[in-house]
């Protein structure tokens, strides 16, 4: 069984949990996901199965769109409401100020990676430093906030400000960190209380299946050919097919980052530029 399965992840499951469940249902060990969602998060989880696991790297490097709920006036050690509260303050911010800051946050900037994350520093995951109460300098990464907007009314409860945002962000953006940065720009503290991924690349939540639907065989896989339909594609002759099957380096006559080679409409391989000699292309992912 090969293809891509779009899962609508429920709360309180890790992305690894979903992979394990699908592996058991479909009776295959060749299952991988293309972008981690925290247990608190719901929504689009793109799962690759069989030979389509070779697409994971390509599908990971896309923009993602989220809806998130923010509570201003609370700070936790994890950056979301599931963590331990480390600071509280009264925080009543008006809508005009929130909209001003959201507009100004639509930019490229260096975002600090949260301590509760799987990013490695000196060979150890950051959350291991956190759990051992060890100090570590948190890395920063350049992220793009492509769009950011208020999508709810502002609520005030117990001297806290609550509202929802929708945002389109680049690969590697932490929404928990974005929310803390928004709060900082509002001269307060804040945490994430809910998160839903509604899009990853061209994949939309309306096309995703629940675990119950998958367990009851009410789902459809997206083929490798369908996934790669917008990539530069070359239908090859039998002579070139043999070279591709043997993993040969070919002349670069295409001026493309990726070239999908097909025979009889079936994907043989994805090639990419050979860095040692950019007049050549080499196998990137093989499907034969």
CATH number at residue 254: 2.30.130.10
Compute the average pLDDT of residues 15-41.
Answer: 94
Q: Which of 266, 67, 11, 35 is nearest to 172 (CA)?
A: 35
Is pLDDT at 61 greater than 80 in this prediction? no
Whether residues 80 and 167 share a domain: the answer is yes
Whether residues 174 and 76 share a domain: the answer is yes
The domain total for the chain is 3
Whether residues 68 and 190 share a domain: the answer is yes
Whether residues 15 and 108 share a domain: the answer is no
Q: Is residue 38 among the annotated active site residues?
A: yes
CATH number at residue 218: 3.30.2350.10
pLDDT in tens, 142-166: 999 999 999 999 999 999 999 999 9
Q: Which of 17, 38, 80, 181 is catalytic?
A: 38
Distance CA 220, CA 45 (A): 15
Query: 264: domain range?
Result: 228-286
- First-to-final CA distance of the chain: 15
Whether residues 187 and 119 share a domain: the answer is yes
Whether residues 31 and 80 share a domain: the answer is no
Provide the 10 A C-beta neighbour count for residue 133. Answer: 6
Whether residues 84 and 156 share a domain: the answer is yes
Whether residues 165 and 265 share a domain: the answer is no
What is each CA distance from 2 to 36, 188, 252, 287, in whole angstroms?
21, 48, 29, 11
Distance CA 178, CA 113 (A): 10
Compute the average pLDDT of residues 236-242.
Answer: 93
Is pLDDT at 18 greater than 90 in this prediction? yes
pLDDT reported for residue 280: 95
Q: How confident is the model at residue 58 (pLDDT cuts 50, 70, 90)?
A: confident
Q: Which residues face 18 on adjacent strands?
A: none
């Amino acid at each position: 069984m090969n293809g891509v399965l779009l899962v609508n992840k429920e709360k309180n499951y890790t992305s690894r949990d979903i992979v394990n469940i699908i592996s058991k249902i479909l009776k295959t060990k060749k299952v991988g996901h293309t972008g981690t969602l925290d247990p608190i998060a719901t929504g689009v989880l793109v799962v690759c199965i069989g030979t389509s696991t070779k697409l994971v790297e390509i599908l990971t490097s896309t923009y993602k769109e989220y809806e998130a709920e923010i509570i201003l006036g609370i700070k936790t050690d994890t950056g979301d409401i599931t963590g331990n509260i480390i600071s509280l303050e009264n925080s009543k911010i008006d809508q005009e100020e929130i909209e001003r800051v959201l507009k100004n946050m639509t930019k490229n900037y260096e975002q600090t990676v949260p301590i509760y994350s799987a990013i490695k520093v000196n060979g150890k995951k950051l959350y291991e430093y956190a759990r051992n109460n060890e100090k570590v300098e948190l890395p920063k990464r350049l992220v793009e906030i492509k769009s950011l907007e208020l999508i709810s009314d502002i609520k005030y409860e117990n001297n806290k400000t609550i509202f929802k945002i929708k945002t389109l962000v680049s690969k590697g953006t932490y929404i928990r960190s974005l929310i803390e940065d928004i709060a900082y720009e509002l001269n307060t503290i804040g945490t994430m209380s809910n998160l839903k991924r509604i899009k990853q690349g061209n994949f939309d939540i309306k096309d995703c299946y629940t675990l119950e639907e998958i367990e009851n065989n009410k789902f459809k896989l997206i083929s490798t050919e369908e996934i790669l339909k917008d990539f530069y594609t070359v239908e090859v002759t039998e002579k070139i097919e043999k070279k591709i099957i043997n993993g040969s380096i070919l002349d670069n006559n295409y001026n493309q980052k990726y070239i999908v080679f097909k025979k009889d409409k079936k994907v043989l391989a994805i090639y990419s530029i050979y860095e040692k000699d950019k007049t050549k292309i080499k196998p990137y992912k093989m499907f034969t």
